[in-house]
Amino acid sequence: MSPTLIAYSFLAGAILFEVIGTTFLVKSEEFTKVGPTLATVVLYAFSFYFLTKSLREIPLGIAYALWGGIGIVLTAVVGLVIFKQTIDAAAVVGIGLIVAGVVVLNLFSSSVG
């Protein structure tokens, strides 16, 4: 397996752990519930660990842009599906711009491995 593929696998794991950690953050009810609070801390720790592993091959700015952008989109989906939150048209446009940015970054940037 190529080092770049491994790095992107670590980045995908970092994104997944961050989104799940953020989901538990809501469930922690401002850190008043011990179980969800501990889950948040552990999941964020795994997320940052996996993010650091991805930095062996992926430049920091690119990795962080992907981690943040994809994490935002997935967290918005979690909010919609799990927490039944609603978003307005401006939020949809903003999230669409984030997705467009991630696509442009991956398709057209020579900085991406």
* pTM score of the predicted model: 0.89
Range in 3-12, 27-36, 87-96, 104-113 with the lowest mean pLDDT = 104-113
The stretch 61-86 carries a mean pLDDT of: 94
Q: Residue 111 pLDDT > 90, yes or no? A: no
Residue with tokens 């660990």: 49
pLDDT of residue 87: 92
pLDDT of residue 113: 59
Distance CA 69, CA 28 (A): 24
Tell me the per-residue pLDDT of 59-69, one tens digit each, with 9 for 90 and over. 998 899 999 99
Give the 3-state secondary structure of residue 41. Answer: helix
